[in-house]
Amino acid sequence: MSGTLVLVRHGQSEWNLKNLFTGWKDPDLTELGVREATQAGELLAARGMQFDIAFTSVLRRAQRTCSIILDGVGQSGLETIRDEALNERDYGGLSGLNKDDARERWGEEQVHIWRRSYDTPPPGGESLKDTGARVWPYYIRQILPRAMRGETVLVAAHGNSLRSLVMVLDGLSREAITELNLDTGVPMIYRLNADTTAASKEILHH
pLDDT at 178: 87
Name the pLDDT band for 126 (thresholds 50, 70, 90): very high
> Of 85, 182, 197, 88, nearest to 133 (Cα)?
85
| 47 membership: H or E segment, kind and range | none
Q: What percent of the chain has pLDDT over 70?
A: 100
Mean pLDDT taken over the chain: 96
Name the pLDDT band for 116 (thresholds 50, 70, 90): confident
pLDDT value at 27 more than 80: yes
Q: Does residue 88 carry a catalytic annotation?
A: yes
Name the pLDDT band for 137 (thresholds 50, 70, 90): very high
pLDDT value at 145 more than 80: yes
pLDDT value at 25 more than 90: yes
Does this model's pTM top 0.85? yes
Name the pLDDT band for 190 (thresholds 50, 70, 90): very high
Beta bridge pairs of residue 9: 157
pLDDT at 1: 60
The residue annotated as part of the active site, out of 10, 36, 126, 158, is 10
The residue annotated as part of the active site, out of 36, 88, 126, 158, is 88
CA distance 76 to 5: 18
In terms of pLDDT, which residue wins out, 161 or 206?
161
Beta bridge pairs of residue 202: 189
Cα 28–chain centre separation: 15
Side-chain half-sphere of 153: how many Cα atoms within 13 Å?
23
pLDDT tens for residues 55-88?
Answer: 999 999 999 999 999 999 999 999 999 999 999 9
Coil/strand/helix, residue 200: strand
Q: What is the mean pLDDT of residues 96-100?
A: 97
> Of 198, 205, 166, nearest to 4 (Cα)?
198
Give the structural domain span for 36: 4-203
Question: What CATH number does the domain containing 11 carry?
Answer: 3.40.50.1240
Q: Does residue 36 carry a catalytic annotation?
A: no
Other CB atoms closer than 10 Å to residue 105's CB: what's the count? 11
Q: What is the mean pLDDT of residues 127-133?
A: 97
User: Considering its fold, how many domains does the chain have in total?
Assistant: 1
Other CB atoms closer than 10 Å to residue 84's CB: what's the count? 13
Q: Say which DSSP state 95 is in.
A: T
